[in-house]
Amino acid sequence: MSKTKKETTPRAPETFAYVRVSTKEQSEDRQLVALEPHDIPPGNIFIEKKSGKDFERPRYKSMVRKMRAGDLLYIKSIDRLGRDYSEIIEQWQYLTRKKGVDIRVLDIPMLDTTFHKDLLGTFISDLVLAVLSLNAQLERENILQRQAEGIAVARAKGVVFGRRPVEVPDNFEDIFRRWRGREISSTEAAELCEFSVRTLYTLTEGMRTPEGG
């Protein structure tokens, strides 16, 4: 008796959207408002609060796994996809050429793979993508540089970042000498200094500590 294969109905193309902000404090509202006219199913809108420095993002990966050939992905701007030039190009090509997904960038009408299917159109789209991807990376590098410069200026003005400096007691050298000579334990030395044993070892790293200690 021959077995007949069960026919499966191909899934109709779906629309998706990827929304990204870099931190939990930032709002994704502006991107969501821009997407409203396109009637994207809520379950196909993937929101991520993570840096665009790479594509190691859980929500993005979940979306890519769900998408099939013929689906359409909306993003507000190319820097929402990412901020690393080479990785943006790589992901764009993976989605459009390997998975067969179309991408529509709302801020840049020329970056719409549902149009420009001919060779010239593809060339123009790839060129625009390359320029905008490079700009996204340069913008990220400028942000990091401005942050570094801001921190340097703040430090020059006396602003202290991170944890408050540990206050060392005036008799620290005597406590350290007694600890080094095994007159007192690490716990006792830390208690006399009024900080933790871990801090004691951190402060005395590179100094002569008790043998075997």
Q: Is the dihedral of CA 35, 94, 27, 147 positive or negative?
A: negative
Of residues 2, 22, 27, 186, which has the active-site annotation?
22
Neighbouring CB atoms inside 10 A of 28's CB total 17
What distance in Å separates the CA atoms of residue 23 and residue 173, rounded to the nearest whole number? 45
**Segment holding 182, helix H or strand E:** none
CA distances to 29, 80, 170, 196 from 177, rounded to whole Å, are 61, 58, 13, 18
Q: Is 193 helix (H, G, I), strand (E, B) or coil?
A: helix
186 is catalytic: no
Tell me which residues are annotated as active site. 22
